[in-house]
Amino acid sequence: MLDRYKRQISYLRISVTDRCNLRCTYCMPAEGVVPMSHNDILSYDEILDLVKVAVESGINKVRITGGEPLVRKGIVSLVEMIAGVKGITDLAMTTNAILLDEFAKDLKTAGLQRVNISLDTLDPDNYAKITRGGNIQQVFNGIKAAEDAGLWPIKINCVITQSSDEPDALMVRDFAERNGYEIRFIHLMDLENGFFEPVEGGDGGNCAICNRIRLTSNGFLMPCLFSTKGFSIREMGINEALDEAIQNKPESGGKNPEGNFYNIGG
Ligand code: SAM
Ligand code: SF4
């Protein structure tokens, strides 16, 4: 479906949980967050119903994200459910890869095509600092498992604070290039103050070509990461919420002081 600015909306990002096994400094407070009640979190059947309707409206690409999607129980079965929807031609997941070693094979069998993996440094101590306790070896194991399972291409999401020439970014670029992974540099964003820049190596952050809508884990369809607008599929019904989300996409992002990456699915 076209939005008001004649952008073809074809990409749905689904946040399946607000929970995470890391606490990245730019994403979550150190003490974590009060998790949503289980009743508020959409069931897999509710997500599947939305995907089926979204495909009718022109969605053909789906990304599963979070929070950390691999901490949600039964995530492989959700992948299988979505992969079974006719019309989805690109099914990907964004993950911190901490648990990917365990899940990669099953995800591939279930129909996941590829993964984006978040990695901001190659230095174990720095990684632990940025993620507040993460073990980088688990990420390396997860990446290897994804490659072995045939989840391909592998894209590395690297958040940068200044530029893609900063030391950590250069290390991650080198790691990606050595292994044949794609690399995308994401400038640190600030939802509260409306700061974002185009993703280097990706399509994100470029409003003129934005083709996305987002589903939060509690069932709100969001037209834009940088907008407070959200339309509840439970309250409005799927068709109306979807229509409103697409028609309310702003020409360009503003601010979202109420928003959080771990819920909207960065
Ligand atoms: N937990 C998964 C992960 O980290 O890959 C998926 C969800 S995470 C919210 C999705 C992406 O958002 C990650 O690549 C993360 O680096 C990015 N992100 C989180 N907070 C951000 C911020 N303030 N600015 C830019 N990117 C951010
Ligand atoms: Fe968790 Fe991903 Fe946020 Fe890091 S960026 S705290 S891994 S949801």
Tens of pLDDT along 170-198?
A: 999 999 999 999 999 999 999 999 989 99
Q: Is 266 in the pocket of ligand 1 (CB under 6 A)?
A: yes
Sheet holding 154-160, edge to edge: 182-187, 154-160, 114-118, 90-95, 61-65, 11-15, 212-215, 220-222, 231-232
> What percentage of the chain carries pLDDT values higher than 90?
92
pLDDT digits (tens, 9 = 90+) for 103-155: 999 999 999 999 999 999 999 999 999 999 999 999 999 999 999 999 999 99
Nearest CA to ligand 2 atom 3: 27
Q: How far is the CA of 15 from the centre of ligand 2 (A)?
A: 12
Q: How far is the CA of 13 from the centre of ligand 1 (A)?
A: 13
- Among candidate residues 49, 221, 217, 76, the one with its CA nearest the CA of residue 151: 76
What average pLDDT does range 206-235 have in this prediction? 96
- Among candidate residues 212, 208, 203, the one with its CA nearest the CA of residue 246: 212
Mean pLDDT check: name the lowest of 158-167, 202-211, 255-264.
Answer: 255-264
Nearest CA to ligand 2 atom 4: 24
H-run or E-run covering 116: strand 114-118
pLDDT at 151: 98
Q: How many residues does the chain have?
A: 266
Q: Has residue 265 got a pLDDT over 80?
A: no
Nearest CA to ligand 1 atom 2: 95
Q: Is 186 in the pocket of ligand 1 (CB under 6 A)?
A: yes
**Ligand 1 atom closest to the CA of 265, numbered from 1:** 9
Cis preceding-peptide flag for 69 (omega within 30 of 0): no
d(CA 172, CA 123): 10
Alpha-carbon distances, residue 244 vs 175, 220, 251 (angstroms): 42, 11, 15
pLDDT digits (tens, 9 = 90+) for 70-83: 999 999 999 999 99
- Among candidate residues 129, 136, 133, 215, the one with its CA nearest the CA of residue 172: 136
Q: 11-264: what fold?
A: TIM Barrel (3.20.20)
Alpha-carbon distances, residue 114 vs 26, 93, 149 (angstroms): 25, 7, 10
Q: Output phi, psi for 99, to 5 deg.
A: -105, 10
Alpha-carbon distances, residue 169 vs 22, 154, 187 (angstroms): 20, 17, 11
**Ligand 2 atom closest to the CA of 266, numbered from 1:** 5
CB of 59 closer than 8 Å to CB of 9? yes
pLDDT digits (tens, 9 = 90+) for 14-61: 999 999 999 999 999 998 888 999 999 999 999 999 999 999 999 999
Burial, 8: exposed, middle or buried (Cβ in 10 Å; 0-12, 13-18, 19+)?
exposed
Q: Has residue 247 got a pLDDT over 80?
A: yes
Contacts of residue 46, defined as CB under 8 A and 6 or more positions apart, other chains included, come to 219, 233, 234
Confidence of residue 86 (pLDDT cuts 50, 70, 90): very high
Nearest CA to ligand 1 atom 18: 266
pLDDT at 17: 96
**Ligand 1 atom closest to the CA of 264, numbered from 1:** 9
pLDDT at 262: 82
What average pLDDT does range 222-240 have in this prediction? 96
pLDDT at 33: 85
Q: Output phi, psi for 236, to 5 deg.
A: -95, -20
Q: From the DSSP assignment, how many helices (H) and strands (E) are in the chain? A: 9, 9
The tokens of 173 are what? 């670029």
d(CA 211, CA 171): 31
Q: Has residue 244 got a pLDDT over 90?
A: yes
Q: Output phi, psi for 144, to 5 deg.
A: -60, -45
d(CA 69, CA 62): 13
pLDDT at 260: 83
**Domain residue spans in the chain?**
11-264
